[in-house]
Chains A and B, each alone.
Chain A
Amino acid sequence: MPQYMVLLYAEEVEQADQEQRWAEMPLWLELTEGLRKAGLLVSNGALRPPDMATTVRVRGGEAEITDGPFAVTKEVLAGYYVLECADLDEALRHAARFPTALYGSVEVRPIVDPASYSQA
Protein backbone atom coordinates (compact mmCIF):
# COMPACT_ATOMS: atom_id res chain seq x y z
CA MET A 1 0.00 0.00 0.00
CA PRO A 2 1.31 3.46 -0.81
CA GLN A 3 2.06 5.75 2.11
CA TYR A 4 1.17 9.43 2.32
CA MET A 5 2.45 12.18 4.51
CA VAL A 6 -0.28 14.47 5.76
CA LEU A 7 1.13 17.90 6.72
CA LEU A 8 -0.87 20.07 9.09
CA TYR A 9 -0.46 23.84 8.71
CA ALA A 10 -1.98 26.41 11.02
CA GLU A 11 -1.33 29.95 12.13
CA GLU A 12 0.45 30.33 15.44
CA VAL A 13 -2.03 31.62 18.01
CA GLU A 14 -1.98 33.49 21.30
CA GLN A 15 -2.58 31.82 24.63
CA ALA A 16 -6.37 32.51 24.61
CA ASP A 17 -6.91 30.88 21.21
CA GLN A 18 -4.65 28.05 22.29
CA GLU A 19 -7.19 27.28 25.05
CA GLN A 20 -9.86 27.02 22.38
CA ARG A 21 -7.73 24.55 20.44
CA TRP A 22 -7.35 22.44 23.56
CA ALA A 23 -11.13 22.07 23.42
CA GLU A 24 -10.66 20.20 20.14
CA MET A 25 -8.71 17.51 21.98
CA PRO A 26 -11.50 14.88 21.97
CA LEU A 27 -11.82 15.34 18.19
CA TRP A 28 -8.09 14.75 17.74
CA LEU A 29 -8.20 11.64 19.92
CA GLU A 30 -11.20 10.22 18.10
CA LEU A 31 -9.61 10.83 14.71
CA THR A 32 -6.22 9.37 15.67
CA GLU A 33 -7.71 6.31 17.31
CA GLY A 34 -10.02 5.75 14.32
CA LEU A 35 -7.07 5.82 11.90
CA ARG A 36 -5.04 3.55 14.18
CA LYS A 37 -7.87 0.99 14.44
CA ALA A 38 -8.33 1.04 10.67
CA GLY A 39 -4.63 0.16 10.37
CA LEU A 40 -3.93 3.33 8.41
CA LEU A 41 -1.77 5.25 10.91
CA VAL A 42 2.00 4.88 10.53
CA SER A 43 3.12 7.60 12.94
CA ASN A 44 2.06 11.05 14.08
CA GLY A 45 3.16 13.79 16.43
CA ALA A 46 2.74 17.42 17.38
CA LEU A 47 5.68 19.72 16.65
CA ARG A 48 7.01 22.42 18.93
CA PRO A 49 6.65 25.89 17.31
CA PRO A 50 9.10 27.02 14.59
CA ASP A 51 11.04 29.23 17.00
CA MET A 52 12.12 26.08 18.83
CA ALA A 53 13.70 24.79 15.60
CA THR A 54 17.39 24.54 14.70
CA THR A 55 18.55 24.47 11.08
CA VAL A 56 21.64 22.63 9.86
CA ARG A 57 23.45 23.26 6.58
CA VAL A 58 26.77 21.76 5.56
CA ARG A 59 28.84 24.10 3.39
CA GLY A 60 32.50 23.59 2.57
CA GLY A 61 32.58 20.55 4.84
CA GLU A 62 31.54 22.63 7.88
CA ALA A 63 28.21 22.18 9.64
CA GLU A 64 26.54 25.58 10.05
CA ILE A 65 24.00 25.55 12.84
CA THR A 66 21.46 28.36 13.13
CA ASP A 67 18.70 29.12 15.58
CA GLY A 68 15.22 29.00 14.06
CA PRO A 69 13.43 27.39 11.10
CA PHE A 70 14.69 27.30 7.51
CA ALA A 71 13.94 30.57 5.76
CA VAL A 72 14.62 30.03 2.07
CA THR A 73 11.26 30.03 0.31
CA LYS A 74 12.60 28.28 -2.81
CA GLU A 75 13.21 25.18 -0.73
CA VAL A 76 10.27 22.82 -0.27
CA LEU A 77 9.69 20.08 2.26
CA ALA A 78 11.11 17.02 0.52
CA GLY A 79 11.14 14.33 3.17
CA TYR A 80 11.23 13.58 6.83
CA TYR A 81 12.79 11.32 9.44
CA VAL A 82 11.71 10.94 13.02
CA LEU A 83 14.73 10.22 15.21
CA GLU A 84 14.93 9.37 18.87
CA CYS A 85 18.10 10.95 20.26
CA ALA A 86 19.61 11.56 23.69
CA ASP A 87 19.73 15.32 23.14
CA LEU A 88 19.74 18.07 20.51
CA ASP A 89 23.47 17.67 19.81
CA GLU A 90 22.99 14.05 18.76
CA ALA A 91 20.03 14.99 16.53
CA LEU A 92 22.09 17.80 14.91
CA ARG A 93 25.02 15.43 14.27
CA HIS A 94 22.74 13.09 12.34
CA ALA A 95 20.94 15.95 10.61
CA ALA A 96 24.28 17.11 9.18
CA ARG A 97 24.79 13.65 7.58
CA PHE A 98 21.80 13.87 5.22
CA PRO A 99 22.86 14.86 1.66
CA THR A 100 20.14 17.54 1.69
CA ALA A 101 22.28 19.41 4.24
CA LEU A 102 24.91 19.85 1.48
CA TYR A 103 22.68 21.83 -0.89
CA GLY A 104 19.51 22.56 1.09
CA SER A 105 18.57 22.84 4.75
CA VAL A 106 17.69 20.29 7.37
CA GLU A 107 15.39 21.61 10.06
CA VAL A 108 15.35 19.85 13.41
CA ARG A 109 12.15 20.46 15.35
CA PRO A 110 11.42 18.87 18.72
CA ILE A 111 8.32 16.67 18.83
CA VAL A 112 6.08 17.18 21.83
CA ASP A 113 6.48 14.32 24.30
CA PRO A 114 2.91 12.97 24.81
CA ALA A 115 3.83 12.33 28.47
CA SER A 116 4.12 16.10 28.99
CA TYR A 117 0.36 16.41 28.43
CA SER A 118 -0.45 14.22 31.41
CA GLN A 119 1.94 16.23 33.63
CA ALA A 120 0.52 19.60 32.69
Chain B
Amino acid sequence: MTSQDEIAAAAGSAAAAERVFRDERSSVLATLIRQVGDFQLAEDAVQDAFESALATWPRDGIPRNPGAWITVAARRRAIDRLRRDRSVADRAARLAELTRLDGQEHSAISEESVLDDDRLRLIFTCCHPALDQSAHVALTLRTIGGLTTGEIARAFLVAEPTMGKRIVRAKRKIAEAHIRYQVPTHDELPGRLRGVLRVVYLIFNEGYSASVGDQLTRGELSGEAIRLGRLLCELMPDEPEAWGLLSLMLLHDARRAARTAPDGRYVSLNDQDRALWDHDRIAEGLRSLDRAVRAHRPGQYQLQAAITALHVRAPSPDATDWAQIADLYAALGKLSPSPVIDVNHAAAVGFAHGPQAGLRLVRPLLADPALDHYQPLHATNAELLRRDGDRLGAAHAYQRAIELSENAVERAELRRRLAALCGES
Protein backbone atom coordinates (compact mmCIF):
# COMPACT_ATOMS: atom_id res chain seq x y z
CA MET B 1 0.00 0.00 0.00
CA THR B 2 1.27 3.48 -0.79
CA SER B 3 1.33 5.97 2.03
CA GLN B 4 -1.49 7.83 0.28
CA ASP B 5 -3.70 4.72 0.51
CA GLU B 6 -2.71 4.20 4.12
CA ILE B 7 -3.77 7.70 5.00
CA ALA B 8 -7.06 7.22 3.16
CA ALA B 9 -7.70 3.87 4.91
CA ALA B 10 -6.92 5.33 8.33
CA ALA B 11 -9.13 8.33 7.67
CA GLY B 12 -11.88 5.99 6.48
CA SER B 13 -11.74 3.84 9.57
CA ALA B 14 -11.48 6.88 11.85
CA ALA B 15 -14.63 8.20 10.23
CA ALA B 16 -16.27 4.76 10.59
CA ALA B 17 -15.20 4.65 14.26
CA GLU B 18 -16.71 8.08 14.78
CA ARG B 19 -19.99 7.07 13.13
CA VAL B 20 -20.32 3.83 15.13
CA PHE B 21 -19.43 5.65 18.30
CA ARG B 22 -22.01 8.35 17.67
CA ASP B 23 -24.74 5.71 17.23
CA GLU B 24 -23.90 4.05 20.53
CA ARG B 25 -22.96 7.10 22.57
CA SER B 26 -26.32 8.13 24.00
CA SER B 27 -27.20 4.62 25.24
CA VAL B 28 -23.84 4.20 26.97
CA LEU B 29 -24.07 7.69 28.45
CA ALA B 30 -27.64 7.12 29.66
CA THR B 31 -26.63 4.04 31.61
CA LEU B 32 -23.41 5.50 32.95
CA ILE B 33 -25.17 8.60 34.31
CA ARG B 34 -27.40 6.31 36.38
CA GLN B 35 -24.41 4.31 37.59
CA VAL B 36 -22.14 7.23 38.54
CA GLY B 37 -24.94 9.60 39.56
CA ASP B 38 -23.30 12.59 37.91
CA PHE B 39 -23.93 14.00 34.45
CA GLN B 40 -20.60 15.73 34.00
CA LEU B 41 -18.49 12.83 35.23
CA ALA B 42 -20.34 10.36 33.00
CA GLU B 43 -19.95 12.63 29.97
CA ASP B 44 -16.23 13.10 30.61
CA ALA B 45 -15.76 9.34 30.95
CA VAL B 46 -17.61 8.66 27.68
CA GLN B 47 -15.48 11.32 25.99
CA ASP B 48 -12.34 9.52 27.31
CA ALA B 49 -13.67 6.25 25.89
CA PHE B 50 -14.26 7.98 22.55
CA GLU B 51 -10.64 9.09 22.43
CA SER B 52 -9.35 5.60 23.13
CA ALA B 53 -11.73 4.19 20.49
CA LEU B 54 -10.29 6.64 17.95
CA ALA B 55 -6.79 5.53 18.97
CA THR B 56 -7.40 1.76 18.82
CA TRP B 57 -10.29 1.00 16.44
CA PRO B 58 -8.63 2.21 13.23
CA ARG B 59 -5.62 0.01 14.15
CA ASP B 60 -7.37 -3.12 15.53
CA GLY B 61 -10.70 -2.88 13.73
CA ILE B 62 -14.12 -1.95 15.12
CA PRO B 63 -15.12 -4.42 17.87
CA ARG B 64 -17.91 -6.89 17.15
CA ASN B 65 -20.10 -5.34 19.85
CA PRO B 66 -19.06 -1.68 19.92
CA GLY B 67 -21.71 -0.76 22.51
CA ALA B 68 -20.28 -3.25 25.02
CA TRP B 69 -16.73 -2.09 24.27
CA ILE B 70 -17.61 1.56 24.91
CA THR B 71 -19.59 0.66 28.05
CA VAL B 72 -16.62 -1.15 29.59
CA ALA B 73 -14.10 1.50 28.51
CA ALA B 74 -16.25 4.38 29.77
CA ARG B 75 -16.95 2.65 33.07
CA ARG B 76 -13.21 2.11 33.70
CA ARG B 77 -12.53 5.77 32.89
CA ALA B 78 -15.33 6.74 35.29
CA ILE B 79 -13.70 4.66 38.03
CA ASP B 80 -10.37 6.44 37.39
CA ARG B 81 -12.04 9.82 37.46
CA LEU B 82 -14.06 9.02 40.61
CA ARG B 83 -10.87 7.98 42.42
CA ARG B 84 -9.45 11.44 41.69
CA ASP B 85 -12.59 13.57 42.02
CA ARG B 86 -13.64 13.95 45.64
CA SER B 87 -16.50 16.38 45.03
CA VAL B 88 -19.04 13.77 43.85
CA ALA B 89 -21.70 12.89 46.43
CA ASP B 90 -21.85 9.22 47.56
CA ARG B 91 -18.44 8.75 45.98
CA ALA B 92 -17.51 5.64 47.96
CA ALA B 93 -20.80 3.86 47.22
CA ARG B 94 -20.59 4.76 43.51
CA LEU B 95 -17.02 3.48 43.30
CA ALA B 96 -17.94 0.20 44.95
CA GLU B 97 -20.87 -0.33 42.57
CA LEU B 98 -18.82 0.49 39.46
CA THR B 99 -15.99 -1.78 40.56
CA ARG B 100 -18.47 -4.58 41.18
CA LEU B 101 -19.98 -4.09 37.67
CA ASP B 102 -16.50 -4.06 36.18
CA GLY B 103 -15.68 -7.38 37.87
CA GLN B 104 -18.59 -9.18 36.22
CA GLU B 105 -18.19 -7.51 32.87
CA HIS B 106 -19.18 -10.47 30.69
CA SER B 107 -22.67 -10.72 32.16
CA ALA B 108 -22.96 -7.03 32.87
CA ILE B 109 -24.10 -5.80 29.48
CA SER B 110 -27.55 -4.66 30.45
CA GLU B 111 -30.83 -6.07 29.21
CA GLU B 112 -32.52 -4.22 26.37
CA SER B 113 -35.34 -3.03 28.67
CA VAL B 114 -32.88 -1.53 31.17
CA LEU B 115 -31.12 0.32 28.34
CA ASP B 116 -34.48 1.68 27.16
CA ASP B 117 -35.34 2.83 30.68
CA ASP B 118 -32.02 4.61 30.96
CA ARG B 119 -32.58 6.45 27.70
CA LEU B 120 -36.02 7.55 28.90
CA ARG B 121 -34.50 8.73 32.17
CA LEU B 122 -31.99 10.76 30.18
CA ILE B 123 -34.68 12.34 27.98
CA PHE B 124 -36.93 13.30 30.90
CA THR B 125 -34.01 14.69 32.89
CA CYS B 126 -32.81 16.83 29.98
CA CYS B 127 -36.35 18.21 29.60
CA HIS B 128 -37.06 18.66 33.34
CA PRO B 129 -39.36 21.69 33.93
CA ALA B 130 -36.94 23.16 36.50
CA LEU B 131 -34.51 23.78 33.63
CA ASP B 132 -34.87 26.56 31.10
CA GLN B 133 -36.33 25.73 27.67
CA SER B 134 -33.10 26.73 25.93
CA ALA B 135 -31.28 24.32 28.27
CA HIS B 136 -33.75 21.53 27.36
CA VAL B 137 -32.94 21.93 23.70
CA ALA B 138 -29.18 22.17 24.21
CA LEU B 139 -28.93 19.27 26.67
CA THR B 140 -31.15 17.03 24.56
CA LEU B 141 -29.11 17.67 21.42
CA ARG B 142 -25.84 17.28 23.31
CA THR B 143 -26.56 14.10 25.27
CA ILE B 144 -29.20 12.20 23.28
CA GLY B 145 -28.47 13.56 19.82
CA GLY B 146 -24.72 13.53 20.30
CA LEU B 147 -24.16 16.92 18.66
CA THR B 148 -21.11 18.83 19.80
CA THR B 149 -21.47 22.10 21.70
CA GLY B 150 -20.04 23.89 18.66
CA GLU B 151 -22.62 22.35 16.32
CA ILE B 152 -25.48 23.32 18.64
CA ALA B 153 -24.10 26.85 19.01
CA ARG B 154 -23.86 27.28 15.22
CA ALA B 155 -27.38 25.94 14.67
CA PHE B 156 -28.85 28.43 17.16
CA LEU B 157 -26.58 31.33 16.12
CA VAL B 158 -25.08 31.60 19.58
CA ALA B 159 -21.38 31.95 20.38
CA GLU B 160 -19.86 28.62 21.35
CA PRO B 161 -18.74 29.74 24.85
CA THR B 162 -22.29 31.03 25.53
CA MET B 163 -23.78 27.68 24.55
CA GLY B 164 -21.11 25.90 26.58
CA LYS B 165 -21.98 27.96 29.67
CA ARG B 166 -25.68 27.22 29.18
CA ILE B 167 -25.01 23.47 29.11
CA VAL B 168 -22.62 23.57 32.07
CA ARG B 169 -25.08 25.57 34.14
CA ALA B 170 -27.90 23.11 33.38
CA LYS B 171 -25.73 20.17 34.40
CA ARG B 172 -24.75 22.00 37.59
CA LYS B 173 -28.38 22.60 38.43
CA ILE B 174 -29.21 18.92 37.90
CA ALA B 175 -26.47 18.09 40.41
CA GLU B 176 -26.94 20.89 42.97
CA ALA B 177 -30.74 21.00 43.04
CA HIS B 178 -30.89 17.19 43.03
CA ILE B 179 -33.00 16.68 39.94
CA ARG B 180 -33.46 12.93 40.14
CA TYR B 181 -32.51 10.74 37.19
CA GLN B 182 -35.85 9.05 36.64
CA VAL B 183 -38.91 8.62 34.45
CA PRO B 184 -41.74 10.69 35.99
CA THR B 185 -44.36 8.96 38.09
CA HIS B 186 -47.62 7.90 36.47
CA ASP B 187 -49.64 11.01 37.42
CA GLU B 188 -46.88 13.38 36.31
CA LEU B 189 -46.09 11.56 33.08
CA PRO B 190 -48.65 13.20 30.72
CA GLY B 191 -47.53 16.74 31.58
CA ARG B 192 -43.86 15.86 31.44
CA LEU B 193 -44.27 14.01 28.13
CA ARG B 194 -45.93 17.11 26.66
CA GLY B 195 -42.79 19.01 27.69
CA VAL B 196 -40.51 16.49 25.97
CA LEU B 197 -42.57 16.53 22.76
CA ARG B 198 -42.51 20.34 22.79
CA VAL B 199 -38.71 20.31 22.96
CA VAL B 200 -38.44 17.91 20.02
CA TYR B 201 -40.89 19.97 17.97
CA LEU B 202 -39.00 23.15 18.84
CA ILE B 203 -35.78 21.57 17.56
CA PHE B 204 -37.60 20.52 14.39
CA ASN B 205 -39.06 23.97 13.76
CA GLU B 206 -35.72 25.62 14.42
CA GLY B 207 -34.34 23.47 11.63
CA TYR B 208 -37.36 23.88 9.38
CA SER B 209 -37.78 27.65 9.41
CA ALA B 210 -35.31 28.67 6.74
CA SER B 211 -35.21 32.30 7.81
CA VAL B 212 -31.75 32.53 9.38
CA GLY B 213 -28.57 30.57 9.88
CA ASP B 214 -26.53 28.03 8.04
CA GLN B 215 -28.85 25.98 5.81
CA LEU B 216 -26.86 22.77 6.23
CA THR B 217 -26.77 22.76 10.05
CA ARG B 218 -30.42 23.66 10.09
CA GLY B 219 -31.33 20.68 7.91
CA GLU B 220 -29.38 18.51 10.34
CA LEU B 221 -31.46 19.90 13.21
CA SER B 222 -34.69 18.73 11.55
CA GLY B 223 -33.11 15.36 10.87
CA GLU B 224 -32.03 15.16 14.50
CA ALA B 225 -35.56 16.02 15.69
CA ILE B 226 -37.00 13.26 13.50
CA ARG B 227 -34.45 10.82 14.92
CA LEU B 228 -35.51 11.86 18.45
CA GLY B 229 -39.16 11.46 17.45
CA ARG B 230 -38.50 7.91 16.21
CA LEU B 231 -36.66 7.13 19.46
CA LEU B 232 -39.61 8.36 21.55
CA CYS B 233 -42.00 6.16 19.54
CA GLU B 234 -39.67 3.20 20.05
CA LEU B 235 -39.40 3.83 23.81
CA MET B 236 -43.06 4.77 24.38
CA PRO B 237 -44.97 2.91 21.66
CA ASP B 238 -48.31 3.36 23.46
CA GLU B 239 -48.19 7.17 23.41
CA PRO B 240 -50.26 8.35 20.42
CA GLU B 241 -48.95 11.91 20.67
CA ALA B 242 -45.39 10.66 20.15
CA TRP B 243 -46.54 9.02 16.90
CA GLY B 244 -48.54 12.14 16.04
CA LEU B 245 -45.49 14.36 16.43
CA LEU B 246 -43.31 11.99 14.38
CA SER B 247 -45.96 11.98 11.65
CA LEU B 248 -46.24 15.78 11.67
CA MET B 249 -42.47 16.22 11.36
CA LEU B 250 -42.15 13.66 8.56
CA LEU B 251 -45.01 15.14 6.54
CA HIS B 252 -43.48 18.61 6.79
CA ASP B 253 -39.93 17.48 6.16
CA ALA B 254 -41.00 15.47 3.09
CA ARG B 255 -41.80 18.77 1.37
CA ARG B 256 -38.53 20.50 2.27
CA ALA B 257 -37.05 20.45 -1.24
CA ALA B 258 -40.25 21.84 -2.77
CA ARG B 259 -40.55 24.72 -0.33
CA THR B 260 -37.84 26.91 -1.81
CA ALA B 261 -37.53 28.02 -5.40
CA PRO B 262 -34.04 27.96 -7.02
CA ASP B 263 -33.78 31.71 -6.30
CA GLY B 264 -34.42 31.09 -2.58
CA ARG B 265 -38.00 32.37 -2.71
CA TYR B 266 -40.56 30.62 -0.50
CA VAL B 267 -43.05 28.42 -2.42
CA SER B 268 -46.45 28.02 -0.77
CA LEU B 269 -48.08 24.58 -0.54
CA ASN B 270 -50.46 25.20 -3.45
CA ASP B 271 -47.66 26.10 -5.83
CA GLN B 272 -45.21 23.35 -4.87
CA ASP B 273 -43.95 20.86 -7.45
CA ARG B 274 -45.22 17.59 -5.98
CA ALA B 275 -42.60 15.59 -7.86
CA LEU B 276 -40.06 17.14 -5.48
CA TRP B 277 -41.80 15.69 -2.41
CA ASP B 278 -40.08 12.79 -0.63
CA HIS B 279 -42.71 10.08 -1.04
CA ASP B 280 -40.96 7.58 1.28
CA ARG B 281 -41.09 10.14 4.07
CA ILE B 282 -44.75 10.86 3.32
CA ALA B 283 -45.55 7.12 3.46
CA GLU B 284 -43.77 6.79 6.81
CA GLY B 285 -45.58 9.89 8.08
CA LEU B 286 -48.98 8.51 7.07
CA ARG B 287 -48.19 5.12 8.67
CA SER B 288 -47.20 6.88 11.91
CA LEU B 289 -50.44 8.84 11.86
CA ASP B 290 -52.48 5.64 11.39
CA ARG B 291 -50.67 4.09 14.31
CA ALA B 292 -51.48 7.15 16.48
CA VAL B 293 -55.14 7.35 15.52
CA ARG B 294 -55.73 3.68 16.41
CA ALA B 295 -55.23 4.56 20.12
CA HIS B 296 -58.37 6.79 20.01
CA ARG B 297 -56.73 9.42 22.24
CA PRO B 298 -56.56 12.54 20.07
CA GLY B 299 -54.04 15.26 20.84
CA GLN B 300 -52.70 18.42 19.27
CA TYR B 301 -49.88 16.77 17.29
CA GLN B 302 -52.17 14.08 15.89
CA LEU B 303 -54.69 16.73 14.79
CA GLN B 304 -51.99 18.87 13.18
CA ALA B 305 -50.57 15.81 11.44
CA ALA B 306 -54.06 14.85 10.23
CA ILE B 307 -54.49 18.34 8.75
CA THR B 308 -51.11 18.12 7.03
CA ALA B 309 -51.95 14.61 5.79
CA LEU B 310 -55.13 15.93 4.11
CA HIS B 311 -53.09 18.57 2.29
CA VAL B 312 -50.53 15.99 1.22
CA ARG B 313 -53.07 13.36 0.18
CA ALA B 314 -55.09 15.73 -2.01
CA PRO B 315 -54.42 14.89 -5.66
CA SER B 316 -54.23 18.63 -6.40
CA PRO B 317 -54.59 21.82 -4.33
CA ASP B 318 -58.11 22.38 -5.74
CA ALA B 319 -59.21 18.89 -4.65
CA THR B 320 -58.22 19.44 -0.98
CA ASP B 321 -60.85 18.29 1.55
CA TRP B 322 -61.30 21.71 3.17
CA ALA B 323 -64.45 20.71 5.06
CA GLN B 324 -62.58 18.06 6.98
CA ILE B 325 -59.61 20.37 7.53
CA ALA B 326 -62.02 22.96 8.97
CA ASP B 327 -63.45 20.33 11.35
CA LEU B 328 -59.95 19.32 12.47
CA TYR B 329 -59.04 22.96 13.16
CA ALA B 330 -62.23 23.32 15.21
CA ALA B 331 -61.25 20.25 17.26
CA LEU B 332 -57.70 21.58 17.64
CA GLY B 333 -59.05 24.94 18.83
CA LYS B 334 -61.09 23.23 21.54
CA LEU B 335 -58.05 21.22 22.68
CA SER B 336 -55.53 24.07 22.75
CA PRO B 337 -57.20 27.42 22.12
CA SER B 338 -55.02 29.94 20.29
CA PRO B 339 -55.57 32.78 17.82
CA VAL B 340 -53.26 30.99 15.35
CA ILE B 341 -55.70 28.09 15.18
CA ASP B 342 -58.76 30.38 15.08
CA VAL B 343 -57.37 32.20 12.04
CA ASN B 344 -56.47 28.94 10.27
CA HIS B 345 -59.94 27.64 11.08
CA ALA B 346 -61.56 30.69 9.52
CA ALA B 347 -59.42 30.34 6.38
CA ALA B 348 -60.31 26.63 6.04
CA VAL B 349 -64.02 27.36 6.53
CA GLY B 350 -63.67 30.05 3.85
CA PHE B 351 -62.37 27.47 1.40
CA ALA B 352 -64.88 24.79 2.43
CA HIS B 353 -68.07 26.83 2.71
CA GLY B 354 -67.36 30.09 0.90
CA PRO B 355 -65.80 33.43 1.88
CA GLN B 356 -68.91 34.68 3.74
CA ALA B 357 -68.74 31.73 6.15
CA GLY B 358 -65.05 32.45 6.73
CA LEU B 359 -65.72 36.17 7.29
CA ARG B 360 -68.34 35.36 9.93
CA LEU B 361 -65.54 33.67 11.95
CA VAL B 362 -63.02 36.43 11.27
CA ARG B 363 -65.25 39.33 12.44
CA PRO B 364 -65.17 38.50 16.19
CA LEU B 365 -61.39 38.03 15.97
CA LEU B 366 -61.01 41.48 14.38
CA ALA B 367 -63.00 42.96 17.26
CA ASP B 368 -60.52 41.56 19.79
CA PRO B 369 -58.00 44.34 20.62
CA ALA B 370 -55.42 41.70 21.65
CA LEU B 371 -55.30 40.50 18.02
CA ASP B 372 -55.03 43.96 16.48
CA HIS B 373 -51.34 43.41 15.68
CA TYR B 374 -51.66 39.78 14.61
CA GLN B 375 -50.54 39.86 10.98
CA PRO B 376 -51.98 36.50 9.76
CA LEU B 377 -55.47 37.60 10.86
CA HIS B 378 -55.33 40.63 8.57
CA ALA B 379 -53.86 38.61 5.69
CA THR B 380 -56.63 36.02 6.00
CA ASN B 381 -59.27 38.74 6.27
CA ALA B 382 -57.87 40.32 3.09
CA GLU B 383 -58.06 37.04 1.16
CA LEU B 384 -61.64 36.37 2.27
CA LEU B 385 -62.77 39.92 1.42
CA ARG B 386 -61.13 39.72 -2.00
CA ARG B 387 -62.87 36.44 -2.77
CA ASP B 388 -66.15 37.91 -1.55
CA GLY B 389 -65.75 40.77 -4.07
CA ASP B 390 -65.09 43.56 -1.52
CA ARG B 391 -62.02 45.01 -3.24
CA LEU B 392 -61.81 48.19 -1.15
CA GLY B 393 -62.10 46.26 2.12
CA ALA B 394 -59.53 43.77 0.87
CA ALA B 395 -57.11 46.56 -0.07
CA HIS B 396 -57.30 48.06 3.43
CA ALA B 397 -56.77 44.64 5.02
CA TYR B 398 -53.76 43.89 2.75
CA GLN B 399 -52.29 47.27 3.67
CA ARG B 400 -52.66 46.49 7.37
CA ALA B 401 -51.08 43.04 6.90
CA ILE B 402 -48.14 44.57 4.99
CA GLU B 403 -47.56 47.11 7.79
CA LEU B 404 -47.46 44.32 10.37
CA SER B 405 -45.30 41.89 8.42
CA GLU B 406 -41.75 41.41 9.72
CA ASN B 407 -40.65 39.10 6.94
CA ALA B 408 -39.42 40.54 3.64
CA VAL B 409 -40.49 37.52 1.56
CA GLU B 410 -43.98 37.55 3.03
CA ARG B 411 -44.26 41.31 2.57
CA ALA B 412 -43.33 41.01 -1.11
CA GLU B 413 -46.01 38.36 -1.60
CA LEU B 414 -48.67 40.51 0.11
CA ARG B 415 -47.69 43.53 -2.04
CA ARG B 416 -47.97 41.36 -5.16
CA ARG B 417 -51.51 40.35 -4.15
CA LEU B 418 -52.48 43.94 -3.34
CA ALA B 419 -51.14 45.07 -6.73
CA ALA B 420 -53.02 42.26 -8.51
CA LEU B 421 -56.20 43.37 -6.73
CA CYS B 422 -55.80 46.92 -8.01
CA GLY B 423 -55.05 45.60 -11.51
CA GLU B 424 -58.28 43.59 -11.63
CA SER B 425 -61.18 45.29 -13.33
CB pair B130–A65 under 8 Å, yes or no, is: yes
Q: Select one of A65, A89, A108, A116 contacting B87, CB under 8 A.
A: A116
Q: Is B86 at the interface (CB under 8 A from chain A)?
A: yes
Q: Is B173 at the interface (CB under 8 A from chain A)?
A: yes
CB pair B87–A88 under 8 Å, yes or no, is: no
CB pair B91–A52 under 8 Å, yes or no, is: no
Quick one: which of A30-80 are within 8 Å of B by CB? 48, 51-52, 54, 65-68
Please measure, in the bound complex, the distance between the C-alpha atom of A67 and the C-alpha atom of B176, giving whole angstroms.
Answer: 13
Q: At the interface with chain A, which of B95-103, B137-145, B177-185?
A: B177-185
CB pair A120–B87 under 8 Å, yes or no, is: yes
CB pair B176–A48 under 8 Å, yes or no, is: yes
Q: Select one of B128, B132, B173, B180 contacting A52, CB under 8 A.
A: B173
Please measure, in the bound complex, the distance between the C-alpha atom of A66 and the C-alpha atom of B173, giving whole angstroms.
Answer: 13
CB pair B130–A92 under 8 Å, yes or no, is: yes
**From residue B264, how far is it (CB to closest CB) to chain A in Å?**
37
CB pair A68–B132 under 8 Å, yes or no, is: yes
Please measure, in the bound complex, the distance between the C-alpha atom of A113 and the C-alpha atom of B88, giving whole angstroms.
Answer: 12
A85, closest chain B residue (CB) = B178
Q: Is B419 at the interface (CB under 8 A from chain A)?
A: no
CB pair B130–A67 under 8 Å, yes or no, is: yes
Q: Is A8 at the interface (CB under 8 A from chain B)?
A: no
CB pair B129–A65 under 8 Å, yes or no, is: yes
Number of A interface residues at 8 Å Cβ cutoff, please give it.
Answer: 19
Q: How many A-B residue pairs have CB under 8 A?
A: 47
- The contact string, 1 if C-beta is below 8 Å from chain B, for chain A 79-120, is 000000011110010000000000000001010010010011
Please measure, in the bound complex, the distance between the C-alpha atom of A48 and the C-alpha atom of B169, giving whole angstroms.
Answer: 13
> For residue B129, which residues in chain A have a CB less than 8 angstroms away from its CB?
65-66
**From residue A118, how far is it (CB to closest CB) to chain B in Å?**
10
- The contact string, 1 if C-beta is below 8 Å from chain A, for chain B 186-217, is 00100000000000000000000000000000
Q: Select one of A88, A113, A119 contacting B130, CB under 8 A.
A: A88
Range class of the B interface residue count: 20 to 34
Residue picked from B87, B89, B128, B176, most chain A C-beta under 10 Å: B176
Please measure, in the bound complex, the distance between the C-alpha atom of A92 and the C-alpha atom of B128, giving whole angstroms.
Answer: 12
CB pair A88–B89 under 8 Å, yes or no, is: no
Please measure, in the bound complex, the distance between the C-alpha atom of A88 and the C-alpha atom of B172, giving whole angstroms.
Answer: 13
CB pair B177–A52 under 8 Å, yes or no, is: yes
A119, closest chain B residue (CB) = B86
CB pair B179–A87 under 8 Å, yes or no, is: yes
Please measure, in the bound complex, the distance between the C-alpha atom of A69 and the C-alpha atom of B230, giving whole angstroms.
Answer: 35
> For residue A113, which residues in chain B have a CB less than 8 angstroms away from its CB?
89
Q: Select one of B87, B135, B188 contacting A67, CB under 8 A.
A: B135
CB pair B169–A88 under 8 Å, yes or no, is: no
Please measure, in the bound complex, the distance between the C-alpha atom of A120 and the C-alpha atom of B89, giving whole angstroms.
Answer: 10
**From residue B169, how far is it (CB to closest CB) to chain A in Å?**
7
Q: Is B366 at the interface (CB under 8 A from chain A)?
A: no
Q: A119-B91, A120-B86, A120-B87 are in contact. Are A88 and B132 (CB under 8 A)?
A: no
**From residue A93, how far is it (CB to closest CB) to chain B in Å?**
9
* Residues of chain A having any CB pair with chain B under 8 Å: 48, 51-52, 54, 65-68, 86-89, 92, 108, 110, 113, 116, 119-120
